[in-house]
Amino acid sequence: MANLKLAFFASKRPEAQQALPLLAARYGNVPEEDADVVVALGGDGAMLDTLRRRFTDNRPVYGMNLGTIGFLMNEYQAEGLPERIDAAERASLTPLRMFAVDIHGAEHRALAINEVSLLRQTAQSARLKITVDGRVRMDELVCDGIMVATPAGSTAYNLSAHGPILPIGANMLAMTPVSAFRPRRWRGALLRHDARVELEVQAPDRRPVSASADNQEVRDIVRVTVEADHTRRLTLLFDPGHALDERILTEQFAF
Measure the CA–CA gap between 253 and 145, rounded to whole angstroms.
27
Residue 244: name the closest of 7, 6, 44, 57 by CA. 44
**44 catalytically annotated:** yes
Catalytic residue selected from 44, 49, 57, 133 = 44
The DSSP result for 87-145, as a single string, is HPEEEEE--EEEEEEETTS-EEEEEESSEEEEEESSSSPEEEEEEETTEEEEEEEEESE
Question: Which residues on adjacent β-strands are paired with residue 38?
Answer: 7, 61
DSSP 175-210: EEEES--BTTT---EEEETT--EEEEESSTTTS-EE
Q: Give catalytic residue positions.
A: 44
